[in-house]
Amino acid sequence: MNALGRHLLLELKNCDLEVLNDLDYVRDCLHDAAEQIGATVVNDAFYRFSPHGISGVVIISESHLCIHTWPEHGYAAVDVFTCGDSVEPERAVKPLVEKLGSKDPSFIELKRGILPESRVGCESK
């Protein structure tokens, strides 16, 4: 079986409350993470909610990185989704944990777009 992409889901708890509400800092963190994994940044979009919280995405040629923060809970949810073999999404984990100050991080990896290696016997009629 071959996967089209790798999707890391980061649960960052007990983060630095102030950085989770700093849009420029959070944007820089995701851009730095994209650089760490060897991705090519295409664009980004970020939004700061009132009274607090940020949502943002960095679009990369290889897919995307996104974040949603809840400063009032010291929590950030981060997705690093990559396609192909040219990038290493796991290299984003440590820098994001450190920069967001998470004292209770965890992550899981999902394989996305799992396709059979051969379609023998699956001919269209």
Question: Do residues 103 and 14 lie in contact, with contact meaning Cβ atoms separated by under 8 Å?
Answer: yes
Active site residue 68: yes
Give the DSSP letter string of 26-84: HHHHHHHHHHHTT--EEEEEEEE-SSS-EEEEEEETTEEEEEEEEGGGTEEEEEEEEES
**Set 15, 29, 83, 102: catalytic member:** 83
User: Which residue among 63, 64, 66, 102 is the active-site one?
Assistant: 63
Q: Give the active site residue among 31, 55, 61, 68.
A: 68
Residue 55 bears catalytic tag? no
Chain centre distance of CA 110? 12
Give CA–CA dist 62/38, Å, rounded: 10
Could you count the other beta carbons within 10 Å of the beta carbon of residue 25? 15
Active site residue 66: no
Catalytic residue numbers?
Answer: 63, 68, 83
